[in-house]
Amino acid sequence: MLVSLLALAAAAWLLTRERMLGMDAGPGTDPGGLGFYVVSWVVMMSAMMFPSIAPMVLTFGFVQNRRKARAAITSTVPSSVFVAGYLVAWTAFGLAAYGVYAGVRSLSIPAFSWHRGGPYLAGGILVAAALYQLTPAKDACLSRCRSPMDFVLNNWRDGNAGALRMGIVHGGWCIGCCWALMASLFALGVMSIPWMIAIAALIAMEKLLPRKRLANHLVAVTLLALGVGVAFAPSHVPWLTLPDSPAAVRAMRAMGMTDGHPSSTGKHSGAMGSMPAKPGAMDKTPASPNDMGVNK
């Protein structure tokens, strides 16, 4: 079961790379059309979360086998049903995040452009995520994620519907634990594969390391340092694609963007344009000699 789960995670990472490579335009990256986003989100969640939920899935299978051995149940339910419920919860969260993110981007607020308040907005999201690490709500959710046996025994339901419900409930606790970390990914670049790996490592660290408080505080310090770096020295933050950089322009073209507007080609449709370097920066066109007052 463990080998299968990790193999699925590896396959999801490969598919994520195939879908998103070269599409990172930094903070404010266009998430694409709804269909493209949902498929990418589910694949990304599988890649990022499957390693860290392995103890919970193994515990679910172990309890099932024990109950069958004691004749408490007549047949077992595939662990994939539990995992499916987990993904249902995260898909619902992803849809809500898409609505908020795409809604804010559609407003095209000049104060949020990269050469104005963009770095401070992205940095502020990271700092807020660091502060959430220290809240009682975070501690309560993390405690349930780190105690698979307690969760399974206290939430057990028989049958396929019961396993699906258990997966959804566990996914809800996991969302309560990790939503701020996922918001940090949006702030760093939702299409950034290096930052997906980094956030996945932070999630696994706080769920799997033996000392919960130490792991939690290490994640908080990391997010705080990133927030300060993005706000005040974004060019020195590793793997961060600046919205006004050549890499961001190439990413926009890969997504089917032409001068900040959707084109008829690209990896997905429905793009709204990435966060511009400054108002009107993506709309400039070369001036002709006559426009510049130069006679031929």
For the cut 70, the answer to whether the pLDDT of residue 82 exceeds it is yes
**Closest by CA position to 40, among listed 48, 183, 101:** 48
Rg (C-alpha) for the chain, rounded Å, is 22
pLDDT in tens, 256-273: 765 444 444 444 433 333
Contact 284/261 with Cβ under 8 angstroms? no
pLDDT at 251: 81
pLDDT at 272: 35
Q: Which long-range contacts (CB under 8 A, 24 or more apart) does 134-142 make?
A: 134/216, 134/217, 134/220, 137/176, 138/176, 138/177, 138/180, 138/216, 139/216, 140/176, 141/173, 141/174, 141/176, 141/177, 142/177, 142/206, 142/207, 142/212, 142/216
CB count, 10 Å around CB of 108? 14
pTM, entire model = 0.81
pLDDT in tens, 47-58: 999 999 999 999
Parse the chain into domains and list their residue ranges: 2-258
Percentage of the residues of the chain whose pLDDT score is greater than 90 = 57
For the cut 80, the answer to whether the pLDDT of residue 83 exceeds it is yes
Mean pLDDT within 132-152: 94
Contact 191/20 with Cβ under 8 angstroms? yes
Q: Which long-range contacts (CB under 8 A, 24 or more apart) does 10-16 make?
A: 12/43, 12/44, 12/46, 12/47, 12/50, 13/47, 15/43, 15/47, 16/40, 16/43, 16/44, 16/47, 16/193, 16/196
Q: If you ran DSSP here, which 8-state letter would residue 117 be given? A: T
For the chain, first and last CA: distance in Å? 74
Contact 223/132 with Cβ under 8 angstroms? no
Contact 22/249 with Cβ under 8 angstroms? no
Dihedral pair phi/psi, residue 187, rounded to 5°:
-70, -30
pLDDT at 265: 40
Mean pLDDT within 14-34: 86
Q: How far is the CA of 93 from the CAs of 116, 198, 202, 265, in angstroms?
A: 30, 20, 19, 29
pLDDT in tens, 90-107: 999 999 999 998 888 888
CB count, 10 Å around CB of 125? 22
Percentage of the residues of the chain whose pLDDT score is greater than 70 = 86
Mean pLDDT within 224-250: 91
Query: Could you give the CA distance from residue 194 to residue 240 in angstroms, rounded to a whole number?
Result: 9
Q: How far is the CA of 260 from the CAs of 20, 53, 68, 218, 277, in angstroms?
A: 19, 39, 59, 38, 11
Average pLDDT, the chain: 84
State the amino acid at position 187 in one-letter form: A
